[in-house]
Every structure is written in C-alpha cells, then in structure tokens.
Amino acid sequence: MPVGMRILDAVAHKRGFDIGWQSFDWSCERYANSGEMMPADGIEQLADFDAVYLGAVGYPGVPDQVSLWGLLIPIRRRFDQYVNLRPCRMLPGIQSPLAGIGAGDIDYCVVRENTEGEYSSIGGRMFAGTDREMVVQETVLTRTGTDRILRFAFELARSRRRVMTSATKSNGIMHTMPYWDERVADIGRDYPDVRVESYHIDILAAHFVQRPKQFDVVVGSNLFGDILSDLGPATTGSIGVAPSANLNPEKTYPSMFEPVHGSAPDIAGRNIANPVGTVWAGAMMLEHLGQTEAAVAVLAGIERALAGDGPRTPDVGGDASTEAFGDTLLQGVLDELEHAAPNSRASQNFR
C-alpha cells in the first residue's frame, strides 16, 4: 500500500490534483484486539468517500470466513460493487510459465459477478455434531444481478476486441447455469456486434493455459470469476501483478480497488511482496475517478519500468525489496509523465 499511495500521490501532484487519504486499521490485528474487523458503523464511515483502496486482508489465527465476511465481502455488497473487473495482461520484462508467450500476448479482462452467486449467505447446518449432520449452501442468481453483470461485460467487449467469453457449467449444474446461459443469449441480442463464446468452466480453465491469446472479455459468476482471476494472472508470471476494481458503476456508492492476490502471510512483513497489482489497482481507481490521463500514465509507467532491466521482486525472479522495486516503478511513472506525448496511449487500463 505505501508504494501505491506514493505513486498515486506523485502522479496526482504532477497532474495538478490532490488525493485526500484517510487510513483505517481495519485488519486481523484489530480483530485480535477488539473482536471486530471494522467498527459497527464501518460501512457508514466509508460511504462518503469517493473510493476505497484496500490492502490484502487475512492472517493465520483468524478464520478466513471471519476476516473476509467481516470486512471485504460486506463492503462489496453494501456498496453494491457488483462488478469485479480484473484485467490480465502479459507485462514486459516478466517471464510467463507458458512457452511462447511474450509481452502483450495475453490481454483480457475477467468480469466477475461480485455480490451474489455462489458467495451466498443462504444455507445452514442441521443436526450438527450427529451422524445426520448436514450442510446446505445455496447459489443465488437473480435476474437483476445476472443481467447487469452481463451488460457490463458486453459493453466492455464492445470497447475492446468485441469477443465475450461466458464461463458456464450448464452441463452439470442444472438450475443456475442454464439460467445464466439463457440470460447470456437474451442480453446478447442487444449486442449483435459482439461475438459470444460460451465454455464450460473446466475446459475454459484448460484454454486459459493452452490458448490464452484468444480471450478478450471473460464473464463469470462470483466463484468462477474468482478462480479464473487467479489462474489468468498466474499465466502472466505472477499473481502479484494482478489488479482488481470492485465497481459500483452507477457511483451511488464508493467503489473499491485492491490487488487480486491474498494476504500471503508467509511473506508478510518481509518487504518482498510485488507491488504491481496494488499500483495498477490504484491506476484503475484514478480512471474510475475521472483522472484517465493519470491512470494511463501509471500503467504505462509500470510497463516502462518493467521493460528496463532494473530490480524485480522475488516472485518474478528478482531479489529486490518491495520498496526498492517501488522506487523503480515510481521512476517509470515519472519518466512516462515526462516523456510520453499526452494521450499517446489510446488504450486505457482495461480497455
């Protein structure tokens, strides 16, 4: 987070605007001390901000369902951040684990439904502790929730290469997934210019590895989108580079920007985490707030920094600290601001 904030502040300064930060210690540490991940009125406290920039949450000793259902997931839901937009791009200067993949060869966005689906609080446990113990967890797809995520994905595809891949599993899951397919077909009629490809999630996962170049926009339910958005960035060399935007597109509520990866407690506090995902998420935040030129400069600056042979973090084969590599990123962004002609890059962070 410090690297991200530093870079965003620098770019804001150069472009003549200010970012007013307020930090909250809402964390597993706070939970350990007070029994709450965030205060009871945490959502109300955030409601007046333009955006939330979130570090990774979770730590051993606090059950994941406590730390996540006590912070991240309520924020996504209460602020109706129904789009989780997760660009996946093969950046320069990083080695893909896949053969024959160079910079730019992988370039798609996972559009993940972010408020319902498999992440549902409907269900429960009966006969706990007996031989008849049973648990039920219901997947919830609403028409509102399904249609709006599909429309977002179609619109995004329209602004890119006009191919939309739908992640389904209607051969095995007999109610929700045929419904999903039905909604894809129905909404798709409004987008005759976008080619729709539909794959069952199992073979889609295989194609992410075997032919990742073909994808443009990939839309999926909450769980499918979650899984694909770890797999995709892994094929680009490190999940540490992956950003995400939890968007409330109507801007009724603040949106939230965070790296895709988890809290990685094994490396916490060691100053070796790759900050690219966090910085790129910051660029998406700038874009959401209307600072498109600054946003474009941040991503271009990341690419510029990576294209040189400067330091790297260990996840991508280097031995630099987060901080040292952060300096390189900052320099890349400053160089970009200095040298790039305004609007030299037509493409935006995720378009």
Residue 175 CA to residue 184 CA, distance in Å, equals: 15
Residue 68 interface partner, choices Mg ion, ligand IPM, none, CB cut-off 5-8 Å depending on type: ligand IPM
Quick check: 265 binds ligand IPM (CB under 6 A)?
A: no
Q: Annotated catalytic residue: which of 107, 169, 191, 216?
A: 169
Residue 307 CA to residue 304 CA, distance in Å, equals: 5
CB 140 within 8 A of CB 120: yes
Which residue of 113, 116, 118, 226 would you call a contact of Mg ion, by CB under 5 A? 226
Question: Percentages helix, strand, coil for the chain, rounded to the nearest 5?
Answer: 45, 15, 40
What is the largest distance, in Å, between two alpha-carbon atoms of the chain?
70
**Residue 169 falls in the annotated catalytic set:** yes
Q: Candidates 46-54, 69-77, 219-227, 293-301: pick the segment binding Mg ion (CB under 5 A).
A: 219-227
Q: Annotated catalytic residue: which of 119, 191, 216, 315?
A: 119
Q: Give whichever of 226 and 315 is closer to Mg ion, judged by the CB atom.
A: 226
Q: Please, what is the minimum distance in Å from the beta carbon of residue 163 to Mg ion?
A: 24
Residues 194-233 that bind ligand IPM (CB under 6 A): 226
Quick check: 258 binds Mg ion (CB under 5 A)?
A: no
Residue 267 CA to residue 251 CA, distance in Å, equals: 35
Quick check: 68 binds ligand IPM (CB under 6 A)?
A: yes
**Residue 226 falls in the annotated catalytic set:** yes
**Residue 50 falls in the annotated catalytic set:** no
CB 254 within 8 A of CB 51: yes
**Residue 230 falls in the annotated catalytic set:** yes
Q: Annotated catalytic residue: which of 202, 213, 251, 319?
A: 202
Residue 169's alpha-carbon distances to 31, 224, 349, in angstroms, are: 38, 10, 30
Quick check: 262 binds ligand IPM (CB under 6 A)?
A: yes
Residues 72-101 that bind ligand IPM (CB under 6 A): 72
Main-chain dihedrals φ then ψ at residue 262, nearest 5 degrees = -80, -165
* CA-closest candidate to residue 295, choices 51, 132, 119: 51
Residues that bind Mg ion (CB under 5 A): 226
Residues assigned a catalytic role:
119, 169, 202, 226, 230
